[in-house]
Amino acid sequence: MNIVIIGTGYVGLTSALGYTQLGHRVACVDVNAEKIAQLDLGQIPFFEAGLSDVLRAAQEAGSIIFTTDLASVLSEAELVLFAVGTPSTSTGEANLSYLLHAARDVGRHLDHEVLLVVKSTVPVGTNRRVLEVVREAMTTNGRSDLTSLIQIASLPEFLREGSALADFMAPERIVVGADDEIAYRMIEELHRGIQTTWVKTTIETAELTKYAANAMLATKITFINEIANIAERTGANVIDVAYAIGLDSRIGPSFLNAGIGYGGSCFPKDVSALRQIAGAHGYDFKLLSAVIEVNNHQRDLFLKKIQDVLGDLKGRRIAVWGLAFKPKTDDVRESAAIDLVRRLYALGAEVLAFDPEAIEAAKRVLPDGIQYAPTAIDAAEGAEALVVLTEWPEFRDVSFSTLKTRMLDPIVFDGRNCLRDAHLEKFGFTYVGVGI
Ligand SMILES: NC(=O)c1ccc[n+]([C@@H]2O[C@H](COP(=O)([O-])OP(=O)(O)OC[C@H]3O[C@@H](n4cnc5c(N)ncnc54)[C@H](O)[C@@H]3O)[C@@H](O)[C@H]2O)c1
């Protein structure tokens, strides 16, 4: 199939590469000329394991091209897939301006039958709006004769950064919302070769499913954080509680890691957007308001913990391990780590940070006064405390005896409980986790 994908971010690029592996020809379009130029040279503009090799292979095979010129590739397309960002507005709704802009562009240039597919996470009703916008632009452009041939399908994406391509190639389910059998069949054809569970449903259900999935996961994290807070006050251990309740198949073990809470480019915006969607339909989604409040408060509690032990942070040297919102990515959007680094710095701390992949991305959003170290150990040089904010697995491989010799005071605040099994006390550290 000939596909045009609009937006070459984490989702658009991963999907594009995945579809080339399934035998399709993909034209990737982005408004960011720098990104397109980089991709054209075979460079991935962000850190995501496994993409480079597939990009090289696809470019060699001629199955992928990159352009900023939508019109130049649209005429060949059988399917146009939208994967642009839908970040939060200042009031917490999904910002649809990128998507609607892309839709207008498509409508302006479209001169034949295609299936439009929305992979971006969007509020209920958005797919139909995108279709309307495309058809309106076609009509303005004198192609009203073709508008009835243009259909739309909602294809929410569930991949996780850090394992994006693997998730794309082996999804736990594919959810597709459409109005007719032809659209379902085209989406099936698009994914031929992937074994998975299909959920074929209405457009509205598919749109809501994506938000429900992310809100559920955010709620699970938030729930265990509340249990962690009770554990701290009662002398219980949240790790054991999480393990024990996770053995119950009705609950399951994942997303039960207590810590400083969720962040990232999806959960915060999607939880807010779902609350807004509910509100716009006259329903007060109280649970999600609590999730947002508890998640924010979790960072306050962690910061207070540091202040309770260290006192005034002014002029205190603090090592930070981890800036990405989670391991195996360089994505720092809405990262809890970034927020905490900002707050430590605002309180006067001298912050020396390390992250295996996210330093460059962090530099773009953090104040200039933050310093960065080339290794985890170097970040701890002369530090009065080490604060762990992202659970990169390699942090567990650090030589803790060396670490201790480099720090001024051997105190570790572990915001992800990821060093709990490293027995830091044995090396002479004071170890402070969350809920343990
Ligand atoms: N990142 C994830 O893990 C993930 C997972 C599932 C779903 N999603 C959803 O997928 C969507 C995309 O997310 P992302 O993380 O890939 O975003 P991103 O910010 O990494 O990429 C979006 C890309 O779209 C481009 N763009 C914006 N407007 C455009 C236009 N008019 N024409 C062409 N290109 C345009 C931007 O330049 C950018 O490169 C969002 O709705 C997100 O919620 C993301």
Cβ-proximal residues to 340 (8 Å cutoff; 6+ apart), any chain: 260, 299, 302, 303, 320, 387, 389, 415
Q: How far is the CA of 70 from the centre of ligand 1 (A)?
A: 16
Which amino acid, residue 64?
I
The answer to whether 162 is annotated as binding is: no
Q: Out of 67, 157, 332, give the residue to mutate to test ligand 1, the one with the largest number of ligand atoms within 8 Å of its CB.
A: 157
Instruction: Give the separation between CA 114 and CA 112, rounded to whole angstroms.
Output: 6
Kindly give the distance from the C-alpha atom of residue 359 to the centroid of ligand 1, in angstroms, as a whole number. Answer: 21
Confirm or deny that 86 is annotated as ligand binding: yes
Return the axis-axis angle of helices 203-234 and 126-140, rounded to nearest 10°.
140
Q: Which ligand 1 atom lies nearest to the CA of residue 32?
A: 37
Q: What is the pLDDT of residue 356?
A: 98
Q: Do domains 2-201 and 292-432 have the same CATH topology?
A: yes
Of 4, 8, 11, 38, the one to substitute when testing ligand 1's pocket (max ligand atoms within 8 A of C-beta) is 11
Q: What is the pLDDT of residue 410?
A: 98
Annotated ligand binding at 147? The verdict is: no
Q: Is residue 434 exposed (0-12), middle (13-18) or buried (19+ Cβ within 10 Å)?
A: buried
Of all protein residues, the one whose alpha carbon is nearest to atom 37 of ligand 1 is 32
> Ligand 1 centroid vs 373 CA: distance in angstroms?
30
Evaluate whether 139 touches 228 at the Cβ level (below 8 Å).
no
Distance from Cα 217 to the centre of ligand 1, integer Å: 21
Q: Is 328 annotated as a binding residue?
A: no
CATH topology of domain 292-432: Rossmann fold (3.40.50)
One-letter amino acid at 300 equals: D
Per-residue confidence (pLDDT) for residue 169, from 0 to 100? 98
Give the integer Cα–Cα distance in Å for 97 and 80: 18
Q: Give the residue extent of every domain in the chain.
A: 2-201, 292-432
pLDDT at residue number 10:
97
- Ligand 1 neighbours, Cβ below 6 Å, are 6-12, 29-32, 35, 83-86, 98, 101-102, 120-121, 157, 159, 161, 265-266
**Res 66: pLDDT:** 98
Count H helices, E strands: the chain? Answer: 16, 14
Which CATH number is 2-201 given? 3.40.50.720
**Is 255 labeled as ligand-binding?**
yes
**Active site residue ranges:** 266
Among the listed residues 303, 289, 161, the one whose alpha carbon sits nearest the alpha carbon of residue 219: 289
Q: Can you give the pLDDT at residue 304?
A: 98
* Sites in the chain below the pLDDT cut of 50: none
Q: What is the DSSP letter of 88?
A: B
What is residue 219's predicted lDDT score, i.e. its pLDDT? Answer: 98
Per-residue pLDDT, 345: 98
> Which pLDDT belongs to residue 321?
99
Specify the 3-state DSSP secondary structure of 126.
Answer: helix
CA of 270 to the centre of ligand 1 (A): 14
Residue 266: the pLDDT is: 97
For position 264, what pLDDT does the model report? Answer: 97
Cα distance between residue 430 and residue 423, in whole Å? 10
Report the C-alpha gap between 155 and 126 in whole angstroms. 12
